[in-house]
């Protein structure tokens, strides 16, 4: 089972560690772009509702990675960063491996409602199972999100009162 526990940034032995960046994307009406999928976890089919995010590649800034990952995972590429929501650490177990991920999110405004095709390394990748879905607003998005770490970033966005 995947569990989440925030960890301090100190290095711990035996962990797979990496950085990820993503976005909380709002359109002109204040709707929030989420992604959802059905995925196998420990032999059970699980419905996940997430924020778009992904690995920060070598030589890439968190901001660049966030814009790229939102575009790749959702097909929505007309984006403008409105605010930096900071970062946080999440610890979870995936396929028996302990993982610590630094997540950095940005509040974004959708500037072009035209959706292209999402881009994945493989059509069989877990990320390829995601489909876009819209929440009515940040409060509704917070309620729909599966994982507590992503809910915390939505709360940060709500506190800014830039979009709502």
For residue 7, being part of any structural domain is answered with: no
Cα angle 16, 10, 160; round to 5: 95
2: pLDDT strictly greater than 50: no
For residue 106, being part of any structural domain is answered with: yes
For residue 56, being part of any structural domain is answered with: yes
For residue 10, being part of any structural domain is answered with: no
For residue 5, being part of any structural domain is answered with: no
Q: Say how many domains are in the chain.
A: 1
Region for 43 from its dihedrals, namely left if φ exceeds 0, alpha if ψ lies in -120 to 50, beta otherwise = left
Q: Cα(48)–Cα(150) distance, rounded to whole angstroms?
A: 12
User: Which range has the worst mean pLDDT, 67-71, 102-106, 124-128, 133-137?
Assistant: 124-128
CB 3 within 8 A of CB 98: no
44-100, pLDDT tens digit by residue?
999 999 999 999 999 999 999 999 999 999 999 999 999 999 999 988 887 778 989
Q: Name the residue range of residue 42's domain.
A: 16-160
For residue 8, being part of any structural domain is answered with: no
User: CA–CA distance from 109 to each of 31, 43, 83, 92, 104 (Å)?
Assistant: 10, 37, 10, 30, 17
Q: Find the CATH number of the domain harbouring 128.
A: 3.90.79.10
Q: Mean pLDDT for the chain?
A: 88
Q: Where are the alpha helices (DSSP H) in 22-109?
A: 62-74
For residue 112, being part of any structural domain is answered with: yes
């Amino acid at each position: 089972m995947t569990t989440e526990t925030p960890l301090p940034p100190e290095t711990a032995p035996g962990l797979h560690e990496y950085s990820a960046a993503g976005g909380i994307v709002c359109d002109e009406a204040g709707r929030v772009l989420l992604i959802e999928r059905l995925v196998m976890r420990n032999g059970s089919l699980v419905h996940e509702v997430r924020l778009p995010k992904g690995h920060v590649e070598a030589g890439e800034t968190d901001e660049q990675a966030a814009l790229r990952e939102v575009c790749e995972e959702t097909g929505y590429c007309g984006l403008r960063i409105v605010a930096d929501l900071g970062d946080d650490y999440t610890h979870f177990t995936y396929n028996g491996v302990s993982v610590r991920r630094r997540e950095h999110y940005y509040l974004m405004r959708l500037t072009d409602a035209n959706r292209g095709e999402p881009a994945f390394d493989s059509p069989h990748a877990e990320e390829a199972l995601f489909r876009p879905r819209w929440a009515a607003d940040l409060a509704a998005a917070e309620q729909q999100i599966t994982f507590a770490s992503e809910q915390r970033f939505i709360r940060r966005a709500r506190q800014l009162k830039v979009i709502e």
